[in-house]
Amino acid sequence: MTPFAQTAIEAAKIAGQMLRDNAATDLTVNEELKYDLKLELDVQCQDAISEHLLAAFPGHAILGEEGLAGDQSSPYQWIVDPIDGTVNFFYGIPHYCVSIALRHEDQYLVGVIYDPCQDELWLADEGKATLNGRPITASVRDQPSKAAFTIGFSKSASTMETGFKRYRLIASQVRKTRMLGSAALAMAYVATGRLDAYIEAQISLWDIAAGIPLIEAAGGRIHLTPLPAEHGDSKFSITASSAALHPFCLKAVAEADAG
């Protein structure tokens, strides 16, 4: 294991313990949005992660959901979502995680996704994908009728409508669809073969960064489309799936978006 990966795992577990300690407690809400929540605990967890990462690598940059830290001119950038699935966490739904990725210029070196509820830790490091230390691979199912998809509906009226169109076209062709509320865990599940595809019309980089090297190392496929600036900074449309079903996914998304 590389020092980068070891440090990221340590940081993820520090934040994961903070989530366990604060589950089922009164939580301070910093901001209530139409389709989302921002908690004080989000900030505290990101601060703890940033402190640990920068103590080990003081010259690195951090891009997080809760802001920037470190040397932003560095070619090494940690991309952090301290609680992916904040609404789940707030409502006591045990499906959320800590997501940490390291990118050197345009290359993802490390991806860590930690689910403190199940004590499951996914790691992408040196081109290998593991879950709690065991190698994982994406699904080999090659028929949509036998597949399980998750399709996100994002947080704006326009991207929700896009999500509905995609859902209507895809849901009738696959075995099951699920909407679980954490993009990072959706990608981890694709890498593990629990899901066959994750599709969303608008998602932030910090939600998906750790999942990118994880799915690729597990033999899956990622298609990212940067969105125009009016959608906000670092926003993408994503199709992540097993290799076998990736052509079906791309075709279905294109048909739904054109319809």
Q: What is the pLDDT of residues 160-197, one digit of tens each?
A: 889 999 999 999 999 999 999 999 999 999 999 999 99
Last residue of a domain, one of 135, 156, 175: 135
Q: What is the CATH number of the domain that holds 126?
A: 3.30.540.10
Structure tokens, 144: 């949509």
Kindly state whether residues 171 and 191 are assigned to the same domain.
yes
Range of 85's domain?
Answer: 3-135
Structure tokens, 15: 């934040």
Q: Is the whole model's pTM more than 0.85, yes or no?
A: yes
Helix, strand, coil share of the chain (percent; to 5):
40, 30, 30
The residues, ordered by sequence, that sit 6+ positions from 7 with a Cβ below 8 Å of its Cβ are 52, 53, 56, 57
Instruction: Report the number of distinct structural domains present in the chain.
Output: 2
- In angstroms, rounded to a whole number, what is the distance separating the alpha carbons of residues 220 and 149? 14
Last residue of a domain, one of 97, 118, 135: 135
pLDDT tens, residue by residue, 112-160? 999 999 999 999 999 999 999 999 999 999 999 999 999 988 777 788 8
Kindly state whether residues 131 and 153 are assigned to the same domain.
no
Structure tokens, 175: 């075995």
- In angstroms, rounded to a whole number, what is the distance separating the alpha carbons of residues 241 and 255? 17
Kindly state whether residues 25 and 94 are assigned to the same domain.
yes
Kindly state whether residues 167 and 193 are assigned to the same domain.
yes
